[in-house]
Structure 1
Amino acid sequence: MVHRYHELIKFMDADDDDIMELLPSPACNRRLKTLYAELKDIESVSKALQANDITLLDVRVWFDGLIAAHPNFADYIGPRATIVHSPDFESGC
């Protein structure tokens, strides 16, 4: 849906005040594009996690790849994230 929005915004009349007051600001549009690019990076891992034949090792490798691309994800999906029950076990220590 965000992709479609960015495709359609090119064709909207910027002089029409009724339309422009309903649309996000240019700064918000730039932020939306950035977030959309990040979501596309995550999409392949998200879809792969839904498969029936994955292992925990597969998941850890995919999560480590996401962390390499986006270091701030380590707080949420890293081996030492606060949600992890046993960080030593998760890290293989």
Structure 2
Amino acid sequence: SMARVKPFTDAQLKEEFEKIQKAISNTQIQAFSRILKKTGPVLEEPSSKRQKSTEAHIPSVLEVSQSPVISSHTSSGTRRKSLARKRLSKPKSTL
């Protein structure tokens, strides 16, 4: 059955890819706008910028939430490192 399928031309592949990309970005924007509406007023920004800053913010939040767990198991030397990491990720959250 696979042999019968005609391979896409480059143009067709590009078209399909763009369709998918548009669909993905639209659903992402919708999801973000739902979240943003819940959280209250936010600085007016183009949706693409807001998307990037939100994505960049997520890893730092995860790091901060994990570091207390890590530091409780280990020596004071690594505890200092996790505190420094917390300080580094704080400016990101104010953006």
TM-score norm. by structure 2 comes to 0.35
More helix by share: 2
Larger gyration radius, structure 1 or structure 2 = 2
- Return the structure number with greater relative CO, CA threshold 8 A, min gap 6: 2
